Amino acid sequence: MITTVRANVLRFILLVLLQALVIDHIDLAHGWIVPYIYVLFILLLPFDTPDWATLLLGFLVGMAMDMFTSTPGMHASACVVMAFARILMLRALVPREGYDPEKRPIIQHMGLAWFTTYAGVLILVHHLWLFFVEVYRFDDLFSTFLRALMSAIATFILCLLAQALLSRDIRTR
Partner 1 sequence: MRDLFRFLFRQRNNLLFLALMGISMSLLIGGNMHQRAQAISSSNSVIGQIYTWRHDLTEFTDLRAVNQQLAQELAEERTRNHASTNDTGKVTLHVDSAREEAYKFITAQVINSTAHKERNYLTLDRGTLDGIHQDLGVVGMNGIVGVVRDASPHFALVTSILGNEIEYSVELSRTKHYGLLKWDTGDPATASMVDVAKYVQVHVGDPVVTRGGDHVFPAGFPVGTVIAVHDDPGSNFHSITLKLAEDLTRSGYVHIVFDLLGSERDSLQARSVQP
Out of 63, 153, 160, 162, the residue judged to bind partner 1 by CB under 8 A:
63
Establish if 169 lies at the interface with partner 1 (CB under 8 A). no
Out of 18, 46, 47, 68, the residue judged to bind partner 1 by CB under 8 A:
68
Establish if 136 lies at the interface with partner 1 (CB under 8 A). yes
Q: Which residues in 72-91 contact partner 1 (CB under 8 A)? A: 72-74, 76-77, 80-81, 83-84, 87
What angle do the packed helices 74-92 and 51-69 form, to 10 degrees? 150
Out of 59, 99, 114, 145, the residue judged to bind partner 1 by CB under 8 A:
59
What CA–CA distance (Å, rounded) separates 20 from 113? 30
State the CB neighbour count (10 A cutoff) for residue 153: 16
Contacts of 82 by beta carbon, 8 Å cutoff, 6+ apart: 39, 42, 58, 122, 125, 126, 129
User: What are the Cα distances from residue 118, in Å, to 14, 50, 130, 134, 172?
Assistant: 22, 18, 18, 24, 26
Establish if 71 lies at the interface with partner 1 (CB under 8 A). yes
Q: How far is the CB of 106 from partner 1 (least distance, A)?
A: 24
Q: How far is the CB of 152 from partner 1 (least distance, A)?
A: 16
Q: Which residues in 17-56 contact partner 1 (CB under 8 A)? A: 17, 20-21, 24-25, 27-28, 30-31, 34, 51-52, 55-56
What CA–CA distance (Å, rounded) separates 167 from 65? 24
What CA–CA distance (Å, rounded) separates 125 from 71? 19
Establish if 95 lies at the interface with partner 1 (CB under 8 A). no
Binding mask 104-123 for partner 1 (x = CB under 8 A): --------------------
